[in-house]
Amino acid sequence: MAENKILEQGSADFDWEALANEGYSLAQKAEYAETYEATLTSINEKEVIKGTVVAVTKKEVVVNIGYKSEGVVPINEFRYNPDLAVGDEVDIYVESQEDKYGQLVVSHRTARMHSAWAKVNEVLKTGEVITGYVKCRTKGGLIVDVFGIEAFLPGSQIDVKPIRDYDIYVGKNMEFKVVKINQEFRNVVVSHKALIEAELEEQKKQIISGLEKGQVLEGTVKNITSYGVFIDLGGVDGLIHITDLSWGRVNHPEEIVELDQKLNVVILDFDDDKKRIALGLKQLQPHPWDALSTDLAVGDKVKGKVVVLADYGAFVEIAPGVEGLIHVSEMSWSQHLRTAQDFLAIGDEVEAVILTLDREERKMSLGIKQLMPDPWEGIAERYPVDSKHNAKVRNFTNFGVFVELEEGVDGLIHISDLSWQKKIKHPSEFCKVGDAMEVVVLEIDKENRRISLGHKQLEENPWDVFETLFGEGSVHQGTIIEQKDKSGIVALPYGVEGICPAKHMRKEDGSNAKVDETLDFKVIEFNKDAKKIVVSHVRTFEEGEDKPSTSARGGKRSGGGNSKAVENLNKSNEKSTLGDLDALAALKDKMEGK
């Protein structure tokens, strides 16, 4: 009982308030709290402050901002700075002074975003070089983290040389210059190429100042086009034209070089500012013509491949860089116009004969028809004068017809040798291209490769017969087929035409004869050489003693043999033909004999 009284007395006297305040009185605690608060940095939420890194782990970065608790930031917010270490000062954005666990909530990324726009705008003005982290690849370039802002690095701004693999830059830190900012869309464009160009500009000046024609430099293939290759000479670009890549034919530069290939080139030329530099590659190799065998001469046979075809001929490469031209006229003995495509194709392997060879001009002409027999050899034996042959009409001229006797042998039929009787203004009135025609050899000029041919010579000259039939004073029945101012054309028997002067076309009743009228006409002039017959209707009635010749009246004369021959001749021939010359010849013989 006594002990219980003592405990009750003790508990009544114990200072429970001091125990609750960890041995401090309320006054002391308030004093100490005030002193503690004075040692802490005053922070406000939603603002950026400076902090010091106090610890770095694999996942987090602990930052002391002078507050009662440290801020904890995920380490991936510092991946742009792999060299982050304890003691570094960083920007921190205070999201909240404490969360539900009493922990300070901060962000380094947000802090960077707040100050990033101010920084990038300042950097754009000053041209300061900044460091960024390449996050990933995108269409046309790369995405770069700059001050916490995602900026765009175009593929053309990565390097001075074309970049084909963007992925090699992902995950790396690189230096950049801010080259463009779109304030409306908050887009930033950066360039790494600008830094390299600045460094190369000085090198470029040194290289350009030392350039000389004929100088040999080492370069790298930068770009390949269909017309040539661009070579990087160390900050200065030069062009090797496709024709200066090789002594041989080059269809595309990719056959000779490849991208990033290093090679020696020679400077051929450049402009005054040395901005356009012409380079050569083949000039470093001896010219193939210089290596051509000295024994090669005109008349020798060579083999080669057709590398170029044109209408006028084909270029044949007989050795790398050594070509000869086979003109189309040297491909066949034929004299007809053709193109080289009719005989050869690109890639064909051919044998040819050297026709001309100029080593100084590096030119060579070749021929392949020389490997075939010349059709003009023995021409006189195959086509003797007066011999008859079949030919094919090839083309016309105003003065005659060209016909082909065989491949490579053409002859000319003069327009005057086409017909004895017809007056032909143009050969196309007589025949067509492609027609078969029988000809007679009139003359051969082997030296000039010319043959004169005739067609009318296949038949007897009908004017020998007409001379006996249409003698002056003979009368014949004729039809007026055409009328002109001063004369008319009269169709006489056997397809012969006569000329009747206008004053001789008057009829007995005083009227003038008209076209399509059939009347009697008297021959008043016969010119065998000029193949001309002049007739008159007036003379048939002005001179009563003249009677129409029975040769024109179809059998009214005695001497039925001749009349019947004429009748048969008229029946068997068209008006425009020469007639049955055998019958005419027989008629002539009978008349002369009578």
Q: Which of 73-82, 327-336, 474-483, 546-555 is modeled with the greatest confidence?
A: 474-483
Structural domains of the chain in order of their starting residue, each with its CATH number: 2-37 (no CATH), 48-109 (2.40.50.140), 127-196 (2.40.50.140), 210-284 (2.40.50.140), 288-371 (2.40.50.140), 379-455 (2.40.50.140), 463-593 (2.40.50.140)
State the helix-helix crossing angle for 581-593 and 560-572, rounded to 10 degrees.
160
- Give the span between the Cα atoms of 42 and 112, in whole angstroms: 21
Confidence class for position 34, pLDDT limits 50, 70, 90:
low
Per-residue pLDDT of 111-148, as tens digits, reads: 777 777 878 888 888 888 888 899 888 888 899 988 77
Mean pLDDT of 205-224: 84
Mean pLDDT of 382-387: 86
Mean pLDDT in the chain?
79
> Do 71 and 49 touch, CB atoms closer than 8 A?
no
Confidence class for position 524, pLDDT limits 50, 70, 90:
very high
Q: Is residue 523 pLDDT above 80, yes or no?
A: yes
- The DSSP code sequence of 500-555 is EEGGG-B-TTSPBP-TT-EEEEEEEEEETTTTEEEEESTHHHHSTT----GGGTTS
Neighbours of 116 (CB within 10 A): 19
| Residues forming beta bridges with residue 91, ordered by sequence position | 50
Question: Looking at per-residue confidence, does 423 or 556 come out higher?
Answer: 423
Confidence class for position 237, pLDDT limits 50, 70, 90:
confident
Q: Is residue 576 pLDDT above 60, yes or no?
A: no
Confidence class for position 42, pLDDT limits 50, 70, 90:
low
Range from 406-410, 476-480, 538-542 carrying the lowest mean pLDDT: 406-410
Question: Looking at per-residue confidence, does 325 or 71 come out higher?
Answer: 325
> Do 58 and 76 touch, CB atoms closer than 8 A?
no
- Give the span between the Cα atoms of 514 and 500, in whole angstroms: 12
- Give the pLDDT confidence score for residue 551 in this predicted structure: 41
Mean pLDDT of 162-189: 84
- Give the pLDDT confidence score for residue 567 in this predicted structure: 43
Confidence class for position 560, pLDDT limits 50, 70, 90:
very low
Q: Is residue 18 pLDDT above 70, yes or no?
A: no
Percent pLDDT > 70 in the chain is: 81
Range from 200-214, 248-262, 297-311 carrying the lowest mean pLDDT: 200-214
Question: Looking at per-residue confidence, does 515 or 321 come out higher?
Answer: 515
- Give the span between the Cα atoms of 106 and 111, in whole angstroms: 9
- Give the pLDDT confidence score for residue 44 in this predicted structure: 63
Mean pLDDT of 487-508: 89
- Give the pLDDT confidence score for residue 499 in this predicted structure: 92
Q: Is residue 536 pLDDT above 90, yes or no?
A: yes
What residue type is assigned to position 26 of the chain?
Answer: L
- Give the pLDDT confidence score for residue 164 in this predicted structure: 77
C-alpha to C-alpha distances, 555 to 138, 269, 520, 562, 585, nearest whole angstrom: 110, 98, 16, 8, 18
- Give the pLDDT confidence score for residue 566 in this predicted structure: 41
- By residue count, the chain amounts to 594
Question: Looking at per-residue confidence, does 292 or 514 come out higher?
Answer: 514
- Give the pLDDT confidence score for residue 541 in this predicted structure: 86
Confidence class for position 370, pLDDT limits 50, 70, 90:
confident
Confidence class for position 230, pLDDT limits 50, 70, 90:
very high
Confidence class for position 593, pLDDT limits 50, 70, 90:
low
- Give the span between the Cα atoms of 60 and 89, in whole angstroms: 16
The beta strand positions in 274-383, using DSSP E, are 277-280, 301-310, 313-319, 322-327, 349-358, 363-367
- Give the pLDDT confidence score for residue 521 in this predicted structure: 93
> Max CA-CA distance within the chain?
206
- Give the span between the Cα atoms of 436 and 169, in whole angstroms: 80
Q: Is residue 514 pLDDT above 60, yes or no?
A: yes
- Give the pLDDT confidence score for residue 12 in this predicted structure: 54
